[in-house]
Structure 1
Amino acid sequence: MLDIIQPYLDYFTVHPEWALVIIFLIAMGEALLIIGLFVPSTAVLVGAGVLVGTGHLGFWPVVTVTAVGCIVGDQISYWAGRLFGQRLKTMWPLHLYPQLVAKGEDFVRQHGGKSIAIGRFVPGVKSVVPGIVGMFGMNQLFFVFVNVTSGIVWAFAHVVPGVLIGRGLAFAGELSGRLLVVLLVLLVLLALAGYVIRLAAAGVSPFLNHLLARVSAWARARRGRSWQRFARAVSPGNPRSVMIVLFAAILFTGLVALANLAIRAASSDAVSNIDVSLATLMRESRNAPADELMTVITMMGDTIVLSALALAILVWLVWHKAYRAAWAAGIAIVAAKAFELAMKLGIQRARPTELSYSGASLFSFPSGHATMAAVIFGILAVLVSHSMGRWGRALVYATCAILAVAIAYSRLYLGAHWLSDVLAGLTFGVVMMAAFGVAIEAIPPRRIKPHGLFATALVVFLGAGALHVATGFTRASEMYAVQDPLTLVPVAQWIDKDWEKLPARRIDLAGKPEESFIAQFAGNLDLLAAQLEAGGWSATPEWTWGQSLPYLNPNAALPDLAPRPALHEGLKAKLTLTRAAAGDGEGREVIRIYKTGLAATEGTAYKPIYLVSLTREVRTHGFDLYAIPSPRPASAADIADLRGVLSRAGGIAILSGHERGGIRQDLITASP
């Protein structure tokens, strides 16, 4: 991904004039009549600020062309209003948006001359206000004054946040190139999502209403009471028709995401690096208090507890004669369980750790806890929030989502599932919730008393969960206890071939290979640390987030900065040591030693096998806002020196390096 993005960044750095032309056209287009509804100005202009913050564009040129563009666009819209007057409302494209024009006229009447400045920051009306004030005959000089001053403010308001984001991305990029790409992709996705929402909320409303009107007419022409109810539900005059469209969009998106996850799981012989890294990180983070809490949470998602919750929902619906809703909920729950069992038996992916399950539950993909929790709590949220207002609906969905996500997270923490298992379960749950939501919004149930349903469901869920935890916690604690992943191999076997099974490079949390490991070592870390400290190395405390605070001091010296965090398959280094670079070298040398899942045995004794990396770090800073250590490759002399220490450390070391694409192995054996 970085290879794809970097050429564009380099091009705009070398040819900033083209970037400025694009920024000008976007800023101008955003201010033109109606056209501004469809121009992703905020995303592009904030993105331009990001490029400023990352050092690819200049600040003042970007602010200048942004301000000039929006001023020119508003001036053109004003002239259109002055030239055509009231006829403008009957011309294309304004005649497609009578409600928006009427709203803009009311806005101008309410705020007068201030509407030009205020309207720039109000979605929807900002695309018609300049034309309307021109249509109303506002004085040209007054318009120019307000247009120019407010345009300058608007430009700063869009570019400056992007600059701050860009500087934050530059900081993240110093810590990890992959982190920078992930954040950039996330920002792009958020920008696209905001643009789509903006179109749905304002730009495509006439087309959406036209489509809903046609669907409603088609359904009304069919016989049957259900079709007539559906026709009334999707009619543009029904305020609930928007929810139907929203659920349908979620349904489609979820199906695409679910298909992608399932295809990847079915076609791959091994889980991804991201799955492995996160599972390893979770295993390394486990502790007794958190184990107890997560065991309780995961038990709340066991089949017996969720079955009691589902039964309570169905009985409530039947009791209140909401038979259609009961049938729809029952079908969704049964379909979710069938999906879970079919996928487990079809893909047969092994769990991260062996658990005392049987049958289909032996397998991992998808997470049954995540699937059923998302489906049942999703159905409950749809039913309860159906007749509520915006804030009540948000509260119900937030409560149900927190419960489902907590159960899903507990499965990751306890090592019962891979990340992709949990994502697949949650995605399918959201799909079933959306399908159920379409049915409920189209044919709403009557007399279900949602507040009573919500209270009853939560009481049953908590009661069944408490009883289940009280009777089965000891057994569950034993099943989810941390398992020792250490695999014992004879020393000779490790020396002969098993050393090749271990990674040649460090794998970061996102699955990207980083620096090469210069050695594999089996021995006592305390003895090795003593040997290294005698040679001038200093051990550093295990890295925590608190150690990153000095990074925010741009004047901090390198010795004041903790070595950069560097995980291997989700694991922190068991031992990190530093020393000043030898000779006239710049910066400092950093040794990181990571534990593996292998141990070398000889007789009845065994020693864990570790991977050893060596890098050089130098101090870098960005925009005088922060200072962080950045990695550089270790020199050949540094590597040779460290290998010499390993050879005298009282263990067994396999020293490996990459030469001409192959692996060179030098075996050094000391007392085992």
Structure 2
Amino acid sequence: MSEWLASLTAWLGAHPQWLGLAIFVIACIECLAIAGIVVPGTVLLFAVAVLAGSGSLSLGETLLLAYTGGLLGDALSYGLGRYFHQDIRRLPGLRHHPQWLAGAEQYFQRYGVASLLVGRYIGPLRPMLPMVAGMCNMPFGRFVAVSLLAAAGWAVAYLLPGWATGAALRLPLPPGFWPQAAVVAAGLALLVLISVHSSAHGQRHASAITAGLSLLVLLGLFIGWPQLIQLDQGLLALVQEQRSALLDPLVIFITHLGDFSVQLLAAVLLCLLLLATRQWRALIFSVATLLGTALANGALKALFARQRPDVLLEPLSSYSFPSGHSSAAFAFFLVLGVLAGRDQPVRMRLTWLVLACLPAAAIAGSRVYLGVHWPSDVIAGALLASSLCAISLYLCQWRTPLHALSARIWWLVLPACLGLLGSMALWRLGEGVLLYRY
């Protein structure tokens, strides 16, 4: 397998004109029923993304090719299920491995539309769920709407790391970049691995362990950020290389989602809805996380007046460490992710947390893209929110577990909060356009 992969990447490296087609085809196969289980698409996608980031394709082109390829794989899988229905079980691959279909079918029957969003990040389920959706006669319009959304997050999560690695290898980065990147990446990886391991083994103090490790890594950033200047400068240069006039309006809209006033209104709305529906423990957890993160961020900013990057388009205060946008966004979306994962298996809880981190990571990344924060600023903001969220969850579950919200409450909470975030961000974006004109 390794020799075949090396041969493929070597050939694509010598013939970069075929790289775009390779990304499209591999993404399609990775999301195609049966084939996506047999072919190691995740490894292949990382390898071709590294090649793309080395200068062959821009980030936007890479993500677009993977996105459209994934959509085609979804559509073909859905069509197979819709055409064969229950006879799909007689296909050669499924006849010999009925567990592939059984697991996806059970997952789809249990979680419905949400399974297509969450299952996108679970390897064995990703290529099978669209086929099961077609087999169960899910309306095509609903399937397309969910697939458009799920494929976008999947393309970013699976292609961005490889592309960034290739770009980092290509750029003339500062001398100390790689050692510093290795230390920070090792710390974050250790945090994630220990947290996942403790949760997967049902340890009673899993949340406390996550909180302690998050605070420990955060403390390391606070102590060591003056020595991380090469890492910050290198990552900022890597991101700034992708600046585009076409992309700027979208990124500005995303960054407005993390504005203090927007996040404050969203947090207040969430708490009021939990209060109105008498979800007392969920309310206490949400208030402790959101308010605690805001107060901690304000206190830390008062202690560290760090100089912002020189890419700023307008003067801002020098207080940048940790990023308020990053900490507020991660606190808000982690609260939603934790509440969504209650009373579910460990894998589902972790997947909901991953999904919750995607919009928060987009907001945090937008700050680096616009040159408003250093990368270590947004990492520190994410760690601060994660630690406060884990502490709040541990305290709220001191005696009894925090139970799930009903579907009726979620249909009230999600549209209201997301609608408020979007409308407020659009209003702030329009306000900025007007100020620019006049």
TM-score between both structures, scaled by the size of structure 1: 0.35
2:238 maps to 281
Change (3 A) 1:275 1:479: farther
| 1:350 to 2:307 alignment | yes
2:222 maps to 262
Contact 2:330 2:385 in 1 (8 A): yes
2:413 maps to 457
| 1:272 to 2:233 alignment | no
Structure 1 residue 408: Cα displacement = 0.6
1:330 maps to 287
Structure 1 residue 371: Cα displacement = 0.4
Structure 1 residue 182: Cα displacement = 7.8
Map 1:68-107 to 2 at 5 A: none
Change (3 A) 1:308 1:455: farther
Contact 1:305 1:461 in 2 (8 A): no
Structure 1 residue 403: Cα displacement = 1.1
Change (3 A) 1:429 1:478: farther
Map 1:33-112 to 2 at 5 A: none
1:246 maps to 206
More helix per residue: 2
Q: Of residues 367, 375, 381 in structure 1, which corresponds to 2:337?
A: 381
Contact 1:384 1:453 in 2 (8 A): no
2:96 maps to none
Change (3 A) 1:450 1:289: farther
SS of the residue aligned with 1:286? coil
Aligned partners of 2:306, 2:183: CA distance in 1, in Å? 29
| 1:303 to 2:263 alignment | no
Structure 1 residue 276: Cα displacement = 2.1
Contact 2:214 2:386 in 1 (8 A): yes
1:417 maps to 373
Aligned partners of 1:183, 1:446: CA distance in 2, in Å? 37
Contact 2:177 2:231 in 1 (8 A): no
Structure 1 residue 410: Cα displacement = 0.7
Change (3 A) 1:251 1:469: closer
Change (3 A) 1:319 1:243: farther
Aligned partners of 1:279, 1:271: CA distance in 2, in Å? 12
Structure 1 residue 308: Cα displacement = 2.8
Structure 1 residue 448: Cα displacement = 6.0
1:318 maps to 275
1:293 maps to 250
Which letter does structure 2 place at the counterpart of 1:367?
S
Change (3 A) 1:284 1:453: same
Aligned partners of 1:279, 1:311: CA distance in 2, in Å? 33
Aligned partners of 1:448, 1:254: CA distance in 2, in Å? 25
Structure 1 residue 272: Cα displacement = 0.9
2:355 maps to 399
Change (3 A) 1:277 1:479: farther
Which letter does structure 1 place at the counterpart of 2:319?
F
Question: % of aligned pairs identical?
Answer: 25
Change (3 A) 1:448 1:248: closer
Change (3 A) 1:344 1:186: closer
Change (3 A) 1:355 1:271: farther
Give deviations 1:454-483, integer Å, cap 9, x for gaps: 4433312331233223323144469999xx
Aligned partners of 1:447, 1:196: CA distance in 2, in Å? 24
More strand per residue: 1
Contact 1:386 1:441 in 2 (8 A): no
Structure 1 residue 437: Cα displacement = 2.1
Change (3 A) 1:458 1:478: same
Contact 2:312 2:371 in 1 (8 A): no
SS of the residue aligned with 1:339? helix
Give deviations 1:622-642, integer Å, cap 9, x for gaps: xxxxxxxxxxxxxxxxxxxxx
Contact 2:330 2:360 in 1 (8 A): yes
TM-score between both structures, scaled by the size of structure 2: 0.51
Aligned partners of 1:248, 1:408: CA distance in 2, in Å? 25
Aligned partners of 1:240, 1:421: CA distance in 2, in Å? 30
Aligned partners of 1:370, 1:261: CA distance in 2, in Å? 15
Contact 1:414 1:480 in 2 (8 A): no
Q: Of residues 467, 491, 497 in structure 1, which corresponds to 2:423?
A: 467
Structure 1 residue 284: Cα displacement = 3.2
Structure 1 residue 363: Cα displacement = 1.8
SS of the residue aligned with 1:272? helix
Aligned partners of 2:382, 2:412: CA distance in 1, in Å? 24
| 1:426 to 2:389 alignment | no
Which letter does structure 1 place at the counterpart of 2:253?
V
Structure 1 residue 243: Cα displacement = 5.2
Aligned partners of 2:263, 2:192: CA distance in 1, in Å? 35
Structure 1 residue 189: Cα displacement = 7.4
Which letter does structure 1 place at the counterpart of 2:254?
I
Give deviations 1:409-467, integer Å, cap 9, x for gaps: 11110111011110110000110111122123334477762434444333123312332
1:436 maps to 392
Q: Of residues 319, 328, 332 in structure 2, which corresponds to 1:372?
A: 328
Aligned partners of 2:371, 2:237: CA distance in 1, in Å? 9
Map 1:519-598 to 2 at 5 A: none
Contact 2:266 2:421 in 1 (8 A): no
Change (3 A) 1:331 1:280: same
Which letter does structure 2 place at the counterpart of 1:340?
N
Which letter does structure 1 place at the counterpart of 2:327?
T
Aligned partners of 2:402, 2:351: CA distance in 1, in Å? 22
Give deviations 1:528-569, integer Å, cap 9, x for gaps: xxxxxxxxxxxxxxxxxxxxxxxxxxxxxxxxxxxxxxxxxx
Aligned partners of 2:322, 2:261: CA distance in 1, in Å? 18
SS of the residue aligned with 1:289? coil
Contact 2:329 2:363 in 1 (8 A): yes
Change (3 A) 1:322 1:371: same
SS of the residue aligned with 2:247? helix
Change (3 A) 1:390 1:405: same
Aligned partners of 1:464, 1:366: CA distance in 2, in Å? 25
Aligned partners of 1:480, 1:443: CA distance in 2, in Å? 54
Structure 1 residue 248: Cα displacement = 1.4
Higher relative contact order (CA 8 A, sep 6+): 2
1:610 maps to none
Contact 2:307 2:319 in 1 (8 A): yes
